[in-house]
Amino acid sequence: MKISVVIITLNEERILERTLKAIHGWADEIIVVDSGSTDRTVEIAQQYDCKTMHRKFDGDGPQKHFGVNQALNDWVFVLDADEEVTPELRSEIESYFAQNHEFTGFYVPISLIFLGRLMRYGAEYKMPHLRLFNKKFGNFNDKFVHGGAVVDGKLTTFENHVLHYSYKDLHDYLQRFNYYTTRTAKMMYDAGKKGAIGQVIFRFPITFLKEYFLRKNFLNGYPGFVWAILSAMYPVVKYAKLREMWQQKK
């Protein structure tokens, strides 16, 4: 079975080449949907024989949905620009396709690389995402933030994973943190949801204890501690921004 890989990009020159090297010559088609990069992103994509096109960004889900529709093949593997397919996963995919034809989609485990370390413990290790599927049976939804695939039929999960090199450094993390907490708070505000004071005050200790101890991020060393702190801050800032939006309306 032939596979088309779809990647959406915006100023990804830092990491895109690593992603493309891992699939170049293996994927039958690579589609890059760029939303206006001003760095070398498009140039790098063209160097790896990608089918490159421009589309104004209107959300994570819609952008990936568009990319899937451009694929020549029925089977589509959707990657983020900072995700690297491991050789073990490539071999597993080939093995499944050689022996099985009963599935319409596959959950792909994705593992985070944070502060230079593979996070082997916690929720960020081998978190399954529905990324490889037959587009005859589904596509991505229209969610602006963290869009996901919706696929009918029989699904299964691979054993091997994709490596997620999400953040260049803490500065990069905090920039994205600020963007996504604002965007998520706005979505909640538009839906009429309100943030109680308790959600702002008590979410931090509860989330930190869950991330650091229950999910065993303490076994990830220093990166695990930083991740637990930042993860605990996320809902606090999100709900604080939501409350601020309602207060500004008043």
Positions in the chain whose pLDDT score sits under 50: none
Could you tell me if 110 and 37 are in contact, meaning their C-beta atoms sit under 8 angstroms apart? no
Could you tell me if 79 and 59 are in contact, meaning their C-beta atoms sit under 8 angstroms apart? no
- Three-state SS string over the chain comes to CCEEEEEEECCCCCCHHHHHHHHCCCCCEEEEEECCCCCCHHHHHHHCCCEEEECCCCCHHHHHHHHHHCCCCCEEEEEECCEEECHHHHHHHHHHHHHCCCCCEEEEEEEEEECCEECCCCCCCCEEEEEEEECCCEEECCCCCCCCEEECCCEEECCCCEEECCCCCHHHHHHHHHHHHHHHHHHHHHCCCCCCHHHHHHHHHHHHHHHHHHCCHHHHHHHHHHHHHHHHHHHHHHHHHHHHHHHHHC
For the chain, the residue count is: 250
- pLDDT at position 204 is 95
- pLDDT at position 210 is 97
Nearest Cα to 243, choosing from 197, 210, 208? 197
- pLDDT at position 229 is 97
Q: Hey, where are the domains in the chain?
A: 3-164, 170-249
CATH number of 3-164: 3.90.550.10
- pLDDT at position 146 is 86
φ and ψ of 8, to 5 deg: -100, 145
